[in-house]
Structure 1
Amino acid sequence: MLILLAFILIFHITSAALLFIATIDSAWWVGDGLYTDIWDRCFNVTNCTALNDSFPDYSSIQAIQATMVLSTILCCVAFFVFILQLFRLKQGERFVLTSLLQFLSCLCVMIAASIYTDRREEIHKGNNLGLFKVEYGEYGYSYILAWVAFAFTFLSGIMYLILRKRK
């Protein structure tokens, strides 16, 4: 049982780390000398512009930012709730609250990545600064990590739902 508990803790910490990296790092869309994420756009690594209301489809960007931050917060809260439930629950009870928080985190990251997938062309089109064209490029590793974090938080939520506190 101790090995299973250690595996679940490592899995949860990995999920949180993936969410932090996907939320913070500048690699949601990568092109020639261009790195863009949900916070700013960088051209040639030195010329960075924060995304603000002057960019097209800024409301979608705000929704992505909010849901990614919320998913990271929910994942961290779920970890602390799990630690508390580990010592407070009676033997044989399930970690339902922790599971619920992980599923909510999973839902938030899925919403953020889905909005970005759907609205990517509108977000990058019509760059009014004239610094770079974003038609050419590909999804970066932060975007991929967001989808991996979605799978990890979903599996973690299932594990917490099934897990019972045993001796």
Structure 2
Amino acid sequence: MLVLLAFIIVFHITSAALLFVATIDNAWWVGDEFFADVWRICVNNTNCTEIGDGFTDYATMQAVQATMILSTILCCIAFLIFLLQLFRLKQGERFVLTSIIQLLSCLSVLIAASIYTDRRQELHSQNAALYGQTAEGTYGYSFILAWVAFAFTFISGLMYLILRKRK
């Protein structure tokens, strides 16, 4: 049981770390001489512009930002609640509250990555001339980590739903 508990804790911490990196790091869309994320666009690794009101379709980027932050916060809250439930739950009960919060985190990262996937072409092609770059590029590792974090949080949420407290 101790090995299973250690695995679940490490898996949850890994999920949270993936969410932090995907939210913070600047590699959602990368191309020749530029990279972009949900916070800023950088050209030639030196000329960085924050995504703000002048950005076309700024509301979409705010939705992606908000849901990525929400997923990270919910994942951390789920971990803290898991630790509390670990000591408070009676033997044989399930970690339902932890599971619900972790699945909400999963849903939030799914929404963020889906919005970015759907609107990426519009976001970068409309703003390419504005920021002196081309829209040609590929998805970066932070975008991929967001989708991996989705899978990890989903699996983690299901594990908590199935898991019962034992001695």
TM-score of the alignment, normalized to the shorter chain, above 0.5: yes
Instruction: Give 1:113 deviation, angstroms.
Output: 0.2
TM-score, reference length from structure 2: 0.98
Instruction: Give 1:46 deviation, angstroms.
Output: 0.3
Q: Which amino acid aligns with 1:133?
A: T
Whether 1:126 and 2:123 are equivalent positions in the alignment is no
2:143 paired residue number: 143
Instruction: Give 1:130 deviation, angstroms.
Output: 4.5
Task: Give CA-to-partner distance per residue, 1:120-166, whole Å, 9 cap, x none.
Answer: 011112225241111x1100000000000000000000000000001
Which runs of 4 or more aligned residues in structure 1 lie more than 4 Å from their structure 2 counterparts after TM superposition? none
Distance in 1, Cα, partners of 2:126 & 2:148: 30
Q: Which consecutive unaligned segments of at least 5 residues does structure 2 have?
A: none
Distance in 1, Cα, partners of 2:126 & 2:111: 24
Distance in 2, Cα, partners of 1:133 & 1:55: 15
2:17 paired residue number: 17
Once structures 1 and 2 are overlaid, which stretch shifts more, 123-132 or 112-121?
A: 123-132
Distance in 1, Cα, partners of 2:109 & 2:80: 19
1:27 paired residue number: 27
Q: Which amino acid aligns with 1:129?
A: L
RMSD, aligned CA:
0.8
Distance in 1, Cα, partners of 2:43 & 2:54: 18
2:60 paired residue number: 60
Distance in 1, Cα, partners of 2:32 & 2:101: 39
Task: Give CA-to-partner distance per residue, 1:10-30, whole Å, 9 cap, x none.
Answer: 000000000000000000000
Q: Which amino acid aligns with 1:92?
A: G
Identity of aligned residues (%): 71
Q: Which amino acid aligns with 2:130?
A: L
- Number of paired residues? 166
Distance in 2, Cα, partners of 1:159 & 1:130: 44
Q: Which consecutive unaligned segments of at least 5 residues does structure 1 have?
A: none
TM-score, reference length from structure 1: 0.98
Task: Give CA-to-partner distance per residue, 1:89-136, whole Å, 9 cap, x none.
Answer: 0000000000000000000000000000000011112225241111x1
Asked whether the 8 Å contact 1:56–1:125 carries over to 2, the reply is no
Distance in 2, Cα, partners of 1:117 & 1:149: 15
1:152 paired residue number: 152
